[in-house]
Chains A and B, each alone.
Chain A
């Protein structure tokens, strides 16, 4: 089993839709979790950290499920500008981050 796994997609959704991505991790000792957004030919940019209690930033909600070892990202009211690849990052006690391969999102008119 890979350390961090994501469905590569693409997820193809209309504007205004709600879409959710999951990211599973294998190391139960993982402590820090993040979602990054990467546009084509650009660097990954931090979207949000994922806290144990879950957190929300506008249209974006991130949650952590330690029992099932996954994190999720929910995007409400999708915009065309949300089209990108979404990478999850998982960090264990050694502070060595592992990134997923990313999930591609395409929002169409």
Chain B
């Protein structure tokens, strides 16, 4: 079975540009999580969906960040406009139900110059 799929794997963009990160969860999983990882702050939960519905977005840094999950097999995380401090690795993870273990995608390494 395919694991969690993320694209792109690497993104380099200039400050002010819009960035869209994509995630395909494992088939049959109904919970999806977006994380950001930096050396300074570790792994931070940004937003969590259950059955395509955003349940908790308290970790989203600010209005420049938005996330959608239009269906069970696709989610996006958008940053508009991007800033250098957004540079990080963004992981998507899914689980068969919220209380269960999570499986992470390979991540998107974002660099904003």
Picked from A44, A100, A101, the residue with its CB within 8 Å of the CB of B104 is A44
Total B residues in contact with A, Cβ cutoff 8 Å: 20
Does A31 touch B at the CB level, under 8 Å?
yes
Count how many chain A residues have C-beta atoms less than 8 Å from C-beta atoms of the other chain: 21
- In the bound complex, do residue B42 and residue A96 qualify as a contact, i.e. CB atoms below 8 Å apart? no
Whether A95 pairs with B98 at a CB distance below 8 angstroms is yes
Do most interface residues of chain B lie in helix, strand or loop, or is the interface mixed?
A: strand
Interface majority SS (helix, strand, loop, mixed), chain A: strand
CA distance A3 to B42 in the complex (A): 13
Name the one of A31, A49, A101, A102 contacting B101, with C-beta atoms under 8 angstroms.
Answer: A49
Task: List chain B positions with a Cβ less than 8 A from chain A.
Answer: 31, 33, 42-43, 45, 48, 50, 55-56, 91, 98-107
A residues with CB within 8 A of B: 31-32, 34, 42-46, 49, 87, 89, 91, 94-102
